[in-house]
Amino acid sequence: MSLRQVAQSESLDEGFLLKRQSEALEFRDKLTGILTSAQDFSDVVDRVFKEVIDYSGAEGGIFRLANERTGTLDVYQTMGPLPKTLEKLIPRRFGDGLAGYSAQSGETMIFFIQDDLYNDKELLNIGIRSVLALPLRAKENVIGVLEIFSKNDKGFDEQIVKTLSCISRQIGLALEGMRLVETLEHRITQRNRMYRLMLKLQSRATLDELLFEIVNILSDIYAPAYSVIVLYDPEDQILRLKAASQRFMEEIGHKEIALGEGIIGYAAKSRSALLINDTMMDPRYIKGVLEVSSELAVPMIAEGKLVGVLDIESPLLNAFKEDDLQLLTIYAQQAAMAILNAQLYEQAREQNLAKSRMMSALSHEFRTPLSVIKSYAWYVKNKKEIPADELDEQLDVVLSEVDNLNELIENLLNIARLEQGRMEWNAVNFEVTGMIKGLIDMFMKTASERGITIALEAKGEAFTWGDVSRTRQAILNIISNAIKYNKDAGRIRIEVDSSERNFTRVSIEDTGIGIKPQELEKIFVPFYRVGGSKIEGVGLGLSITKQFIEAQGGWLDVKSVFGEGTVFNVYLPARGSNEQ
């Protein structure tokens, strides 16, 4: 005879009562055994659920767990014949329906289907007549509700209700304990992964690889959150998005953030970590494309310098805890060092690349005049009789190539002398316009071959205090570039301005190919050539020019519009010798 049939017969004689009590005790023993021995949360729920169904003789049930974040009772597991429509009733809010009411009041509820309070009409359709809702309490909280159903009008007798009510508290406490342990274990795993991630920071070679490694692992640890790295550019004083989880990058693309702008900008400016539990409540939060409910932004600082910000954004509320913040702060320090190292490494690599490019450019620069010289020498040697004027012409070519070689060697020596601080300067007061006229005469032939015109604008004499040959070399380099990087039939305008008493300004303006803004700084770096320019050159001229001018107390600037032209302004010290 099943328990249900017994309950129906209502033959509650004493022997029977004893039997029921011993069954209840047996059930409680079993359950205690399960609750104290099992390891895995879902395994415990499954076994407890089966035992309860078995003991109570219920047709089936729903095991719901409270979701703190959404305030709902979400279905964790179901058992027995439940129609699909019932599953649609989930998640259920606290206070809503029988389970909700039981969760809110913390009381065991038993209802029979004719009871008006119970509103799950679907149950009627599958013949369910009695429902028992057991709140699973742990201390002050209800962590879930176990609802069981019976097809009998009085499906659960007093003994069952009493036993299950008593045991439900024990179930609640045990499950809460297990949940805490699992959260703790999860956190420990998280920590371990973070430490492993820290070790990885030391092994990455390129900056990009490093950044993507960091965001991918962080996104993985904090899923469904995504992570973002912005790096600080001290020159432009702006934060640039450098790496993000795949989806984020697709949605956002490349982005710039000002210091103090939004949560990331605030973390960077204040150099302090921010933990935002609900972004909607934070006035600093600026809504973006993706849904972000909570956020953790930690500045990365190395050697006292702001390197960037590490940011994790979650679509869930309260996704991060205080210890996540602490952990990420430690991690951000390590990441900052690793990023700084990777940046230095990249710079060194770029310099090495520039050097090897320079070596091949130099070999080319040497080889061209040498092969011209060799072929002319070979020609002269093998030809028995050469007319005097032809020989003269041949030797002129050879001499001009030797001059080119000499100039190249001189440039290289200048670089070496400047780097070693072994340059000798003979400063005198001299007139600049005359010197520039001489340079224009020198370049006239080369310029006119390409239809380029050179115009000079100068009012009277202009003086400077400096080394004549170095100043001449500096201006020569700029004029030479203005021709080299000009378009055919282009124009060059040179202006000498001596209206200031303390300096003379020489401007060399061309209508050439122009230089992109991001290249402007780099053109003064030794051996740097824009986009590996096809026009002949080794990338030394401007670097020498700048150093020559600055060493004499002058300065220079450059403005350019890509595709339209460039203007170099050279300011030469005049020590008050310019007339007013």
Binding region for ligand ADP (CB under 6 A): 477, 481-482, 485, 510, 512-515, 523, 529-530, 533, 537-543, 566
Beta strands 60-67 and 72-79 are antiparallel
CB-nearer residue toward ligand ADP: 227 or 481: 481
DSSP state of 318: T
Q: For residues 287 and 516, which CB has a smaller minimum distance to ligand ADP in the complex? A: 516
For the bound state, the minimum distance from the C-beta of residue 455 to ligand ADP, rounded and expressed in Å, comes to 16
- Cβ of residue 371: shortest distance to ligand ADP, in angstroms? 20
- Between CA 440 and CA 438 the distance in angstroms is 5
Closest distance of CB 569 from ligand ADP, Å: 13
Looking at the Cβ atoms of 63 and 528, the one nearer to ligand ADP is 528
Cβ distance to ligand ADP smaller for residue 411 or 577: 411
Q: Pick the closer one to ligand ADP by CB: 467 or 509.
A: 509
* In the complex, residue closest to ligand ADP by CB: 537
Take residue 318 and report the two structure tokens written for it: 């309260």
Nearer CB in complex with ligand ADP: 307/361: 361
Contacts of 333 (CB under 8 A, 6+ apart): 300, 301, 302
Q: Would you give the distance in Å from CA 165 to the centre of its chain?
A: 53
Report the residue number, 250 or 557, with the smaller CB distance to ligand ADP: 557
Instruction: Please name the amino acid found at residue 33.
Output: G
Nearest-approach distance from CB 437 to ligand ADP, in angstroms: 20
Alpha-carbon distance of 219 to 212, in angstroms, equals 10
Distance CA 452, CA 440 (A): 12
Which of 143, 204, 195, 199 has its CA nearest to residue 173?
143
The CB-of-351 to ligand ADP minimum distance in angstroms stands at 16
Q: How far is the CB of 493 from ligand ADP (least distance, A)?
A: 12
For the chain, the C-alpha Rg in angstroms (whole number) is 42
Name the residue among 507, 524, 483 with its Cα closest to residue 567: 507
- C-alpha–C-alpha distance, residues 178 and 80, integer Å: 26
Does an H or E element contain 161, and which? helix 158-201
Q: How far is the CB of 509 from ligand ADP (least distance, A)?
A: 9
* Nearest distance from C-beta of residue 486 to ligand ADP, angstroms: 7
d(CA 331, CA 307): 13
Q: Which is nearer to ligand ADP, 339 or 476 (CB)?
A: 476
For residue 137, which amino acid is it? R
